[in-house]
Structures are given as structure tokens and as C-alpha cells.
Structure 1
């Protein structure tokens, strides 16, 4: 029986719901002892042993080398078998797409990158993604049936329940396209899609800040966005538009026109494309956030001045976020974060000026640590959460999302 058969079987024939609940506890809590599972599940030792037997038979769990000291015989800790299945993770960007296969850690096992033009039809880009997956599988020596889901990281607001892009968006032509149906017709596989900033936030949180229960992430790139994690869950709002800070309007004397059609959006002032626009007006060639950073690294005064001004724009909006949401941590990622203190100083300055001391006295505002793999790792975490760590919340396969 393949990994996908174990996960998507909803009849209870292969893996009863009770064993799935126990597996969910292991997936969410890491290495745990049998006695800890008894406590967490509220089940007797006999029941836990019986349900664990099913998980061992399905190859979902394994004993680690770690031992829990006890008064008697040492007890080996149990953990998820990270090699049990594969996850297909895809990060679609405005200029390139990264496709990877990961284990359940998630650790990237193989990946490919190809140039992207979002003006191309969605079927064209999805065909390229599928071709990448089919080339990567032989590299890791596993069949497609061992891929338990596809996670898509997309530079757009997403109808999360249905895995569809909704506008306005830079993904022209993708609006309401049935991404999930396209993959299902080809591979009969579960697909989950989310906004890129939500997934960058998820990767950063899972990898570096798992103990922070109120976490806000800012993507400062060619475009701008925000992601909010509360109590370990991505908060998406009623329609998936939560934390869309790029289109909060600044109070400016001559507000610039944004790509969304409004005047004075943060993105039209502090986004990488906007700074590049202003540099070109000064006779300095730049097209996107990467070009802007390259100019800043050459210590061009005009670029540094614009980045510092952008930081204050970010700071104005971040101050509003801090006042409303009161996060413990604000993490700034994306290409423009490579400008370091040229950008970060303005954010901290405005937040400290405008927010009450109660909101700022323990607040950290730091640069992201996850780098250019954040989108891929976030997409893998998304599939893991939906297909494995959340199996106790609803039976995967009956619908394309989990009840929260």
C-alpha cells in the first residue's frame, strides 16, 4: 500500500480514525513517549499500544534512539517516520518558479527552478511544474504514489478553501482557475494553495520561532504583503485577505499610483517595483527588488535614501499592525530585507514613536532567517499540516481542506 493510500483512505479499512488521532498527536508534538501519548490522548496503556501497532504496521511511526529516563526500564521515544512519504512543494514567483520534493521534516530532497512569466496561461506553467515533478521523482527513487500532496505558494490572494486565485492579482489569467481540478485530473492528488506571504510566515515560524504564539511576518520584496500567525495557526480572515498590508494607504502629499489601481498604497511607495521606478526616474537602471538591492550594495546614495524612506513607510503601517494585533514578534523577510538596517531602522523608529509602551516593551522586530527557500518550505509545511498533523480534525480526502 502506497503512502497516499494510507493517508487518503477514509473508510477506516487501513487506518481507523482512532489511530489517526494518535498519529496526529505524534506529528504535532515531535518525539514523545508512550506514557506521554497516554496522557495526551486520555487513553489506557492497552489502547495506546494497540493503536500504535497499527501505526507501526503502516510505517507511519518509528522508535528513535532517544531514551526517556524512568525509574525502571528506559523508554524509547516515538516520532513520525519522516521518510514515510514525499511532499511536492512549489513556489511560483513573478520571475521564477521553484519546484521541490521534500520529506516530512520537511527537508528538500531534490529541486528545479525555471523562469516564469505570469502572463503565460496557467496551464502552461502547471505543465512545466508537472514536468519538473516527473523529472525529480527518479532522482529520489520514489513513485508518484508516495507524494501525499502538492503545496503551492502563489504571489496572490487565494480562496484557500477552493485553492483558487482571486483578484486583483499579478497572476493575470489565473483568476478562478481550478488548480486543484487540474492536478486531480492528472495525478488524482490533493492540492493546497496559499498566498506566498502566509507560507513564508509559516516556514519562518515553524523553523525558527515555534514558541512565539503571536507572530507577524512582512514580505518586503518586489511586492509587499503580511502574514499573521496566532496560536500556531495562519490567520487568513473571512476570504483569505487578512494582513494585506501592501494596500494600506499612506497619508502622502502626492500619492503614487499602485498596481492595484488605488493611490498611495504602501506597495506603491515602499515596494521593490516602486523603488526601482524612482531609481529609473533618477537615471539609475533597476526593474525589481533584486536590482534595487544590488544598487544599494554598491552604496549608491540615491538608492540608500529611497530604502530608508521605504523603511519609514513600512514603519507607519507596522505601527498600525502592532496597535491592532499586539504581536510579540515582527519578522521582515523578502529581498528588500537584505538592505539590513537601512530598512529596519525606519520600521523600528516609527513603531516606537507611534505605539504605546505596553505594545512595544517586549516586541522584537527582526530580519527573517529563512532565506529564498521560505516559500518552498512553507508549502511543504502546509501539506504536512493538512494531510498529517491535522488528521484527527477531519478525514482527509472527503474535502480539500481541514476544519480549523
Structure 2
């Protein structure tokens, strides 16, 4: 998209003003298209409340930027068929990373999002941020090269972490398993490598976003509980991810039960939900009973083999999870609760305990139309797609799309200059 013409001599501020003006107001139109609320010129005019000529002008800016395209199929109408307008999912790519305690999974997606390439590797999160992030950057560059995409094609980077995250600051805060990461500026470090926006989020929120957008998009009040190695939850209210004041909302795994015995949690406190019902805690209890287990995956393997102690402990974990979920239902009153993560593969052995306690302890009004279901997202890819969705939604918002267009133009122009010089 060409910037508005001006005098030959122009200040940096003036240049930015001209560039922003060329895309002014386009964000609302793009948001309507990207979210599927309107996908024809007449529908966009009606939904936006703008005049037809204004919609045409703003569509032209988005077409010129390469953000939207006309689909080959037409929409049925009472008269002449209308051409459908859709987001150009090849406009850019998103780099996503799921950083775990011992493994990292990476992906490059388009803007649908759909995974185009991925990689997985063994890491040790205790080595600190620079070695781990350095390896991730190297793998991202290899994946981009494999796809024939350039750095300037990167719309943004999404990082998922197994720890409390200050989303606004792009930093880990008070981690229980991420030694050496506390308050490290992940966002700034990665931006220096790629000159692209970076979104940092805890893994549960990203899983929540993926499950919600893909399978429950019409639900206004939504709760996702991850039951795996650890336990946490993500909250969607009025269709948007709710993080709380500092990004700590949904940390149900460290709510404490005072009843005895009160096992020691990894966070150092006694009696946490996680210490009673998480995958690592069930594996601990199995080991204490002479059944070899170290991970949530081991627990599920024993359950599928009908190992009696595994079945009993998973059912007990379901009731513990149901106790804390009942408290959350009383506070948030969600209409859908989804249980995901590795332990959710236990099916009704886990879910029946959750349902039992929720319906027993919550008011009838809160449970009258409540749905409690197992997650549908693939455990391997759900978090990566959630990271991609976070980046796409952040960069496509009406208040940020003008900056996205300008940055893309500048990056593309700089890349073209480098290729001519080379």
C-alpha cells in the first residue's frame, strides 16, 4: 500500500502521520472480516455504520496492503451475487513456541491459523532464558528457511510458558519451575532477534484461547481447566481472555485445602490443589504404593491398563478438582467448563468426580444450564495454535492494525533493499 504523497522533505513524525492516515479506520473493517461478522461490501457497510464510499476507501487500503482478498465463491443474495471478502491468511506468518520443563515445541502458522512447519527439541528450562531462547531463535530461522519465508513476513511471535506471566510486561513472575527466568525481559530479547511484536503468555491461557475460539466461539462465559503435570485454569468472559489485575487470574492449582494430610506442593506451600490432584502428585502417590510412575502420562498408561491404584487415585483427583471447580462456579458462573490436559484423557474416571462435586456444592441457578465437557484440542498442537491466535488477534485489533500495516510495509521495503544490495 503506497503511503500518502507529500513534500520531498518530510519529518519522521510527518511520515508516520501520512502512513497512518493511509490506513486510517481500516482496523474496524478488517476486524469485521477477520471475525466473520461481515464478508461482503454491503454487509460491511451495514455492520460498520459507515457510508458505502468510506467502506470502499478502507477496503482499498486493506487490499493494497495484502491483508484481504476476494474469495472465488460468491455469497447468495436477492439480486446480483456478492463477492465474498476474506482475510488473506498468507499475508504473514506467526512463530509459536510451547516451552515446557524438558521439551520445547515450535511451529510456524499462517493466519488461519494452520501449522505450516514445526519442530520439537529437548531443553532444560533450568539453564535459564538465554540458552533456551537462543535455541528457539535458531530453530525458528531454520523453519522460516525451510518454508522460503523471510523475517519481514513474521507478523509476530507467541510464547507459551509453564509459569505465572506478566502478559503486559512480557516477563515471568515468581516461577515455581523456571529457575533464572524471573523478571527476564523475554519480549525485548526476542524483538532484538526478529524486529517483530512478541506476546508472552502462560500455557493455560493459550490452551484456553485455542479451545474457546475453535470449539466454543459463541459461549460468552467459559472456563478451561488444564489437568496435567500441573493444574491451572483460563477464563473467558464476554468472549475475551480475562487475566486479572496482574495476569494471575485462574491459578486454581495453588488454592489450598487445609484438611489433613496436607502434602507439600512444588511451590513450597502445603495442601495446594496441585499437590493433591495434579499428574505429578498422582505419580508420587503411585510410587509410594510401589507402582512405578513419574509423569501424568505414566498415570494415564496405568489407568488404561486398569491398574486399581491408578483408577482409585484418578477418581479421587476428580473429586478434589470438583471441589475447587465448585468454588469457581460460585464466583464466575460460567456456562461451559472444559477439562483439558493429559489427565483429561482419563475421561469419566476424572470428569465424574468434577461433576459430582460441582452439582453437589453449587446453587441450582449456577448449574441449571452448565455444561462440563472434556477438551477437544489436540494436546500436541493446542497450545501452539493458541499462541498463534493470541498474536493474530493482538495485531489485527482495530486499535493496532494501522501499526501492523505500517510495520509490514517498512519491513518489506527494507527486505527488498537488502536483496537488491546483495
> Could you say whether these structures have the same fold, taking a TM-score greater than 0.5 normalized by the shorter chain as the test?
yes
Whole-Å separation in 1 of the counterparts to 2:365 and 2:31: 37
Deviation readout 1:111-140 (Å, 9 max, x if unpaired)? 000112211121111011111111111222
Contact 2:68–2:85 under 8 Å retained in 1: yes
Match of 1:380 in 2: 388
Contact 1:217–1:331 under 8 Å retained in 2: yes
Q: Aligned match of 1:143 in 145, 150, 166?
A: 150
Match of 1:402 in 2: none
Match of 1:392 in 2: 399
Q: Aligned match of 2:322 in 315, 329, 335?
A: 315
Superposition map of 1:265-276 within 5 A? 265-276=272-283
Superposition map of 1:182-197 within 5 A? 182-197=189-204
Q: Which is worse superposed, 16-25 or 370-379?
A: 16-25
The list of structure 1 runs, each at least 4 consecutive aligned residues, that deviate by more than 2 angstroms after superposition, is: 9-12, 28-31, 65-72, 391-397
Whole-Å separation in 1 of the counterparts to 2:28 and 2:264: 51
Match of 1:21 in 2: 28
Whole-Å separation in 2 of the counterparts to 1:11 and 1:166: 37
Whole-Å separation in 2 of the counterparts to 1:202 and 1:126: 23
Match of 2:249 in 1: 242
Superposition map of 1:115-264 within 5 A? 115-264=122-271
Match of 1:401 in 2: none
Superposition map of 1:51-130 within 5 A? 51-130=58-137
Match of 1:354 in 2: 361
Secondary structure of 1:17's counterpart equals coil
What is the RMSD computed on CA atoms of the aligned residues?
1.7
Q: Aligned match of 1:277 in 276, 284, 289?
A: 284
Whole-Å separation in 1 of the counterparts to 2:127 and 2:303: 32
Match of 2:410 in 1: none
CA shift at 1:92, angstroms? Answer: 0.8
Instruction: List alignment gaps of at least 5 residues for structure 1.
Output: 3-8, 398-404
CA shift at 1:34, angstroms? Answer: 0.7
Higher alpha-carbon Rg: 2
Whole-Å separation in 1 of the counterparts to 2:180 and 2:97: 19
Report the count of equivalent residues.
Answer: 390
TM-score, normalised relative to structure 2: 0.89
Q: Kindly indicate whether residue 57 of structure 2 is the aligned counterpart of residue 50 of structure 1.
A: yes
TM-score, normalised relative to structure 1: 0.93
Cα separation, partners in 2 of 1:120 and 1:209, compared to 1, 3 Å: same
CA shift at 1:20, angstroms? Answer: 2.8
Whole-Å separation in 2 of the counterparts to 1:187 and 1:392: 23
Q: Which is worse superposed, 137-146 or 219-228?
A: 137-146
CA shift at 1:65, angstroms? Answer: 3.0
Q: Aligned match of 1:288 in 283, 295, 314?
A: 295
Match of 2:41 in 1: 34
Whole-Å separation in 2 of the counterparts to 1:289 and 1:249: 21
Cα separation, partners in 2 of 1:395 and 1:174, compared to 1, 3 Å: farther
Q: Kindly indicate whether residue 300 of structure 2 is the aligned counterpart of residue 303 of structure 1.
A: no
Whole-Å separation in 2 of the counterparts to 1:366 and 1:204: 12
Whole-Å separation in 2 of the counterparts to 1:78 and 1:107: 19
Instruction: List alignment gaps of at least 5 residues for structure 2.
Output: 3-14, 405-422
